[in-house]
Amino acid sequence: MSAVGLWLKKGKNKKQDTRIAIMIDMAAACLDIIAAKNEKIIASQSLSIPVAIPIDDQTTSAISTAVDGFCQQHQLKNPACTLMLPASSYQMLLVEAPPVNQEELAEALQWKVKDLLNTAMEDSIIDGFLLPEDAYRGRQKMAYAVVANRAELQTVANSLETINVDLDRIEVPELVLLRLLERYPRESHTEMIVVIGRQGGFLIVVADQALYLSRVNDISEQALETESNDLSNNHHIDNFILEMQRSRDYFESQVGKGTIDRILLAPLQHHASTLSQVMHERLGTSVELIDPSVITEFTLASQGSEALLLASAAKAA
């Protein structure tokens, strides 16, 4: 399955030897940058930035200054750039697939989701991807529409253009994760993969290397830190595991791809081993922590899930 593009510049997505991947986390006031050359990670940085919602000149200036400094420090000349959206900055909507070919899908999805949008359709960039033919037992062809704010993305693209950084890809972490899993050793046919980020997270269910279900959740590393260190007595964890159970029940009863054999948990800054044990005890399913060294041996600036996903995005030449 190819990644959802949300391309700002159609036709300019070319293979590059050097690529940077950035994520602007407005909720956490943080900018993450990772660089790869010939699909090998060579640099990583995470820094605080001033933020404003909607994005303003001070924020865009801080972003371009930070990215320019990073490129100069690591001698990266005119790199291609992937922007990975944080989970809180877009909508991912499950809808009936319109009867069009792949090239016309994005435009057709606009009319499918126009009444579900948080912003007006003309203020949104909408792209999407089809679920496999056998999803939902083949009863109805389905698709996910991905919706992001057009003005914010264009503002970021314009600010990067001033420093000769070509933003040619905008991606969502769900599909970056799916691509990451192609590099990961797996024997199971059907898995739930859980990502808990700084300010929020999501889960996906993958079968036979394809995405069948995606759900956003409110669990975050910040929430884990603000509660008791005893994760077995944490209401955020209780609610999240209940959502995992509901997602598993929905997948196994409605999607028609059998049972979930294993849960993979993306890296966390803290509590990963304890959380995986709690998940195993509550759900009765094998839980495995994703090993970052399978994706890169480079020591990333952050040990959380965002950095690992960003590394995967940077390596996708």
Structural domain includes residue 129? yes
Q: 123 with 162, same domain?
A: no
Q: 163 with 46, same domain?
A: yes
Q: 163 with 30, same domain?
A: yes
Structural domain includes residue 240? yes
Is residue 12 predicted with pLDDT exceeding 60? no
CA–CA separation, 100 vs 181, rounded Å?
A: 29
Structural domain includes residue 31? yes
Domain count, the chain: 3
Give me the domain span that covers residue 118: 89-149
Q: 161 with 109, same domain?
A: no
Label residue 75 exposed, middle or buried (CB < 10 Å: 0-12, 13-18, 19+). exposed
- The CATH number linked to 108 is 3.30.1490
At 155-210, the pLDDT tens digits run 999 999 999 998 999 999 999 999 888 878 777 779 999 999 888 899 999 998 89
Mean pLDDT of 41-49: 93
Range from 13-17, 144-148, 174-178, 294-298 carrying the lowest mean pLDDT: 13-17
Q: 24 with 167, same domain?
A: yes
Q: 96 with 133, same domain?
A: yes
CA angle 23, 26, 30 (to 5 degrees): 60
Structural domain includes residue 210? yes
Label residue 311 exposed, middle or buried (CB < 10 Å: 0-12, 13-18, 19+). buried
Q: Which residue has the higher pLDDT, 18 or 1?
A: 18
- The CATH number linked to 252 is 3.30.420.40
Q: 124 with 70, same domain?
A: no
Please give the pLDDT value at position 252.
95
Q: 75 with 98, same domain?
A: no
Q: 232 with 250, same domain?
A: yes
Q: Which residue has the higher pLDDT, 54 or 110?
A: 110
State the pTM of this model.
0.89
Q: 120 with 266, same domain?
A: no
CA–CA separation, 165 vs 186, rounded Å?
A: 36
Structural domain includes residue 309? no
Q: 241 with 169, same domain?
A: no
Q: 192 with 271, same domain?
A: yes
CA–CA separation, 152 vs 85, rounded Å?
A: 11
Q: Give the distance from CA 255 to its chain's centroid.
A: 22
